[in-house]
Each structure stands twice: as structure tokens, then as C-alpha cells.
Structure 1
Amino acid sequence: MSDIRNVAVIGMGIGRSHILDGYVSNGDKFRVIALCDLSPERMDAVGEEFGISRRVTSFEDVLAMDDVDVIDVCTPPNLHFPMVMAALKAGKHVVCEKPLVGSLAQVDAIVAQEKVSRGLLMPVFQYRFGDGIEQVKAIIDAGIAGRPFVGTVETFWRRDADYYAVPWRGKWASELGGVLMGHAIHPHDMFTYLMGDIARIFGRVATRVNPIEVEDTITASLEMKSGALASFTATLGDVGNMTRLRLAFENVSFESDHTPYSPGDKLWTIEPRNGETKARIDALLKDWVHVPPGYATQMARFHAALMGTGPLPITSADSRRSLELVTAFYHSSSTHKDVALPIAPDHPLYHSWVPPDFRSS
């Protein structure tokens, strides 16, 4: 049996990036054999670009394709849960763009389904991959950085009115949130990937930039389980586009490249506290092997997991941690109270963080 796995991509928005950056770059591991989109014109453009002739508008048709091994879900967020569940029940492996689903209850339902399904599920957090973030992770995991003290995440992006011309954007029913869900979710995941779990959060959200239903400006104060403190700030009203993470540890301070959409790619600024620490870092990184950024590495490691030669690079547990932060953030903002994590099924927002007035929209 060939090691190449056949893929169907659902949704030709971010789905095109998955094909170009994730599957074409791993052509010895994956082959995209089918596309699915409600817009034949958009689907035909992608199909012609990449030479993919099988094109359908029905997701059910994809589920019935016996030669499809992996279904890659790149639809608007409100469609993720039913599609992921259906694909797992059909015995397919699944890749799903962020956010994985729209509530902690849905995450837990997917975790339960994974336990009885043949296929593996990999949520997408492509910002975790690249030389910059992986060098920092290696230094932390080696114990060189020492105790974490404090960290900041700044997601300062620009989204004008034309961005919301896409019908599903800016609406609770389809996007499930604003800057917290669709934009800062990646930098926040990078932060917890490096700094560990959150213990408590006090957050505020506001709609300041565009006349939309969801938030476009946020800020929060966090206490980590390690005892470290942190702050998150994000807006879609900046003049430019910039993402910055800065982490202060006992022995090292790290700062990301300010590239808005791939801060894990380029090398970070690494500042050791003394010569001894610098020598340990230099020795650790001396024979560093280049890590391609984003989808390229995430899909390559997904293939290793499918082959049984490596772990899943991102799991549903990672998505649950991300959506737990989102749930706590919205609850704190609405109640003006500090919120403790983890969040259990008896939490008032466990089944949905969407405001009640918008849940049936």
C-alpha cells in the first residue's frame, strides 16, 4: 500500500492555502483528489490551478468517496462541528481549521467520538511551526530558560469595512466571535504552547472599529498555573499589522518577530541573562535543522502520525485549551469577574459563549 494519503478539501477560502502550502509541499505524502465548495466558480479556479478534476458541491458526496483518506475542513466556523463529526463517523481522518468548534460541549463530544473512530483528527494551529518558535520551545523544554516570570501578546491588525463584505464574517452565528476567535487565537495558542496552562483570567471585549456584531478589540490580565503573569491585547483597528510575543523567564527573555501572520517562522530575539546561559543555548542550537513554517511542517508531522511514526502535532486537547480561554474570556467580560480555569460542564457558557440573542440567528 502506498504511503501517500488522498485528501478532499472542503471550502476554497483558506482551503487553497492548505493545498498550496501544506499538500503541494508534501507531494510525496499527500495527494488532493477532490474539492468541495458551494461556489462552482471558486472551486473551478482552485481546481484548474492545481489540476484537481473531481469537484462537488455536496459534502455528503465527499463522505461517500471510498478513495478519500483525509477530509480537510476549511468552511466557516459554524459548520466545523457537524462536518468533523460526520467525517469521523465515516471513518475518515480529519484536518480542521481553527476554531475547531463553537463550544466546549462540542469539543468534548468530538473527543468522545475520537475514542470510537478509526480516523485521526488534527486541528490546525500552523503558527506553532517554524525555526523561530521551535528554537524557543527547545530552549524552554531543555530547562535552560528557567522559571517563567511574565509575558505579553499583542495582536495589532487592521481590518476595514471591505473585510466584512464576506457574508459570514462579523456575525455571531457564523464566525462565533471576533478578534478573539478569528485573529488572536493563533498568538494566544503560541503563548500557552510556550508558557503553559492558564489558571485565571480577567478579560474585556469591545466593538470599537467596525459596525459588526462581534468584538474587534480585547484586553486581558492572566495568571498562569506556574505563577507567571501575562497580558493579552488585540485590535483590528491598528493602522498596520503586527503581532508580538515577549516572554521573560528566569534566565532568558524571548521576543518574536513582528510579522503579523507567521511570527513562528523567522528567528526570535533570544536574550540570555549571562554568559553561561548563552553557552548552553549556543550548544543546543549548534546543529539546528531548518523547520519549514506553517502548514508545510504541520501536514508533514500529521502524515508521520498517520504512518504511526510520530505523535499528532496538534490534538483536540490543544483546541479545548484554546476554546477554554475563549469561553473564560467572554464570561469574564460579561460578568466583570475573574474566571478560573479549567471550565467544567456546569459552567454557564459550557454549551455556548455566543450571546443568547444571537444563538438562533
Structure 2
Amino acid sequence: MRTSRDAPTRRIRAAVVGTGAIAAGSHLPALAALAAEGGLEVVAAVDVDTGAVQRFCADGGVPHGYTDLGRMLAEQRPDLVCICTPPTLHREQTVAALRAGAWVWCEKPPVPSLADFDAVEAEEGQEDDGGPYASIVFQHRFGSGARHVRRLIADGALGRPLVAHCQTTWYRDAAYYAVPWRGRWDTEGGGPAMGHGIHQTDLLLDLLGPWSEVRAMAGRLVHDVQTEDVSTALVRFGGGALATVVNSVLSPDEVSRIRIDCERATVELTHLYGHGNDNWRITPAPGVPAGEAAAWRDFGPDVPSSHLAQLRELVASMRAGQRPRSSGADGRTSLELVTALYKSAFTDTTVRAGDIGPGDPFYTALHGGAPGWAPAPATYEEASA
């Protein structure tokens, strides 16, 4: 099995699978930044569209373009594969890369179901072999702001977390859902709880730790889609804190927000698609010494949340042969909560952590076959077309 442990100082060979907007706008710039520092080189790109991969390679200075993932893996033998394709392809492509000995950095949402995630995790290398591992792109938990607040909460400086709010209220029009794979369970996996709000959900879990139960509601209020276009949930955490989670694509005043009320301070993050130190605010409770509050507000050098921030840490993990954050059980927790949110909303029940496993219909599909939410069975004419 090939890992970077056997060559900790050589340049890591990276490849990009899927050459659409997220690859060109986020992954390639992050890869190029590390390449400019000499620690990495982008050796190949893959896309089923020949013209698209040719343009991507020409614009990004990528030497080899392919339309076949298997061929690229065999010929280029990359150390790291960045998966930037629609969610329905993530499982197959991630497994192929892992079996070829490459580490994987896969765009969110990770895969369409917990069953798919567990199948991917089963293909990862053993801990004592140093990988390879598959990490999910959850870049909002990386950067100086999230790191600083995580430390303050973990160390108990702010006191016990009590109340939290997690909000992803964005706006998407009919043209957005005209893209054929959007708004469909079999191709997108889910609606805003899965495809949009999972970033803030993941950050909330990274700050507060394990959740214990969820009670949720979902609606399809505007868009003609299979999935929901709005959801709300009440989540209880293992430490006792209660949180509301709101995900929407119906909100003209777009915002992403997390607020955590602790015993000694309120921490609030307000942004849209990424955050820096200035997007965080800490309000001390009455009686907190001014000097202590000032120390809380000192975030240090500003490292914005970004693909680059996560990629740096991932590459460091590769060189050390260590499991990266946002992989394995750590990467699964957000998907498990989103799955539980859907089950709660569609079955009108409280769902507890660990409830959903093999044999549960929500384990293999986020709609769980629920009436009114599961896709309608294909007609004879549709099946024969």
C-alpha cells in the first residue's frame, strides 16, 4: 500500500476528478498554492467531457487529461485524488482511488447515504499502515477562528455550552434547480440540510462535540423538487446543550450563522460562504474580568476558512501517515445527524445517535421510503424508455 510515509519530503502527486466550478474555483487554486511552495504537484485531471478536461488542463497547467478514472489511476499513480463530481459518483470514485493506494479528498456532501459512507470507510487503510484515508471537504472547521473558539470551548474557558443556533438560510431560484441532478434524492442525496447546511452543521458539531438526539420538521414550500427546500431541527448534545438548526434555500437575505451561549460568554459567527477572524464575536457575561475577555478576543494571525487551510492540514497528515480530520468516524458524524434529521422529519419521531444502521430504510436512502418524500415508482413507460 502506497502512502507518503515512505517519502515524507517528496512532492505529493495530486489529481482532480471532475473539472466543474468547484474544482476550478476552489480545489485547483488550493493545490496550486501548495505546488508553488514546492510540496505538491498536480499531475492529472479527469472528466467525462473531453472538452471540459482539456480546457481545465490548459487553464490550470495540468499536464495530463483523462476521461477514464481507472486509466488515470493506473498510469499516473497519484498520492492524492480530489473528487469534485456530483454526490452520486463519490462512493464509486473514492473506492477506486483508495484501492489504487491514493488518499482522497472528497467534496461535500460526502456520499448519498450512511451505507455508502460505511462502504467507503471499509476500503480505507489500517491505522498501523498509515492509510490511505478518505477525508471530506468541510473547510469551515479549518482556519484560525474555528481553531481558537474550539480551544476556548474545549478548555472550559467560556464555561459549559448551554444554547446554540446553527443557521444556513440561502436563496436558490428555479434556474438553480434546472440542473438535472439537483433536487433529486438519487443524484444530490438530499436538499439544503444535506447539500447546503451540512457545512455549518459540521462546524457546530466540531465545536460542541457529539450529539445525542434530534427532533425535526421539513417542508417543500416553493420548489418543484423531490427533496425538501427548508428544514428545522432541535438537537440535544451529549454535554446537555440544546441547539436549533435551520436550513433553507428560500431566504433572500442570505446568511450563515452559528451562535453558542456558554455560561461565561456568547460566541457568534456570521458570514456567508467562508469566514475569517473578523466574522467572529465574543460577548462576555457580566462579571468576566476585562483582561480575560480581551484574551478571548485575540484570535492571532488571520487564517480564513478555506480549501487551502484544510488541504494544508491534510497534506501534513499524509506526510505523517496519520488519519486526517474529517475522515472516518469524524467525517461521518455530520452525515449521521443529517440522516437522523430527515428520519425525524419524515416519521415524526425523535431519533437518537446510533439508531440508524443496516436494516433501517434511512441507512440506504435519506428519504427512507417515506410516503410523500420518496421518489414515485417509475411507470412502465418510463422504465421501458
Q: TM-score, normalised on structure 2?
A: 0.87
Q: State the alpha-carbon separation in 1 of the partners of residues 165 and 57 from structure 2.
A: 42
Identity percentage over the alignment?
Answer: 33
| Cα distance in 2, alignment partners of residues 338 and 251 from structure 1 | 30
- Across the two proteins, how many residue pairs are aligned to each other? 360
- Looking at structure 2, the residues matched to 275 and 213 of structure 1 have their Cα atoms a distance apart, in angstroms, of 51
Shifted more, 281-290 versus 209-218: the winner is: 281-290
Measure, in 2, the Cα distance between the counterparts of 1:134 and 1:193.
10
For 1:231, what is the secondary structure of its paired residue?
strand
The amino acid across from 2:222 in the alignment is V
Residue from 300, 305, 317 that aligns with 1:305: 317
Shift of 1:346: 4.5
Match of 2:307 among 286, 291, 295: 295
Do the aligned residues in 1 keep the contact of 2:77 with 2:102 (CA within 8 Å)?
no
Show the 5 A alignment for 1:1-361: 2-13=9-20, 14-27=22-35, 28=37, 29-116=39-126, 118-257=131-270, 259-263=271-275, 266-274=278-286, 276=288, 278-283=290-295, 288-308=300-320, 312-343=324-355, 344-356=357-369, 357-358=374-375
Contact 1:219 1:233 in 2 (8 A): yes
Quick one: structure 1 residues 264 and 287, their matched pair in 2 at CA, closer, same or farther if it must change by over 3 Å? closer
The AA in structure 2 aligned to 1:113 is E
AA aligned to 1:177 is G
RMSD, aligned CA: 2.2
Q: TM-score, normalised on structure 1? A: 0.92
Query: In the superposition, relative to structure 1, how do residues 284 and 251 fare at CA in structure 2: closer, same or farther (>3 Å)?
Result: closer
Unaligned runs of 5+ in 2: 1-6, 379-385
Mean Cα displacement is larger for which, 322-331 or 348-357? 348-357
On the 8 A contact 2:264/2:288 being kept in 1, the answer is: no
Letter in 1 for 2:329: A
Q: Do the aligned residues in 2 keep the contact of 1:304 with 1:311 (CA within 8 Å)? A: no
Unaligned runs of 5+ in 1: none
Q: What is the Cα deviation at residue 76 of structure 1? A: 0.5
Change beyond 3 A, Cα 1:239–1:74:
same
How far is 1:53 from its partner? 3.1
Q: Secondary structure at the match of 2:75?
A: coil
Q: CA, structure 1 residues 360+85, in 2 after alignment: closer, same or farther (shift >3 Å)?
A: farther
Kept in 1, the 8 Å contact 2:13–2:80? The answer is yes
Shift of 1:177: 0.5
SS at match of 1:161: coil
**Is the alpha carbon distance of 1:272 and 1:311 closer, same or farther for their aligned partners in structure 2, counting shifts above 3 Å?**
farther
Q: CA deviation at 1:139?
A: 1.4
> Structure 1 residues 281, 42: closer, same or farther in 2, change over 3 A?
farther
Distance 1:119 1:359 in 2: 39
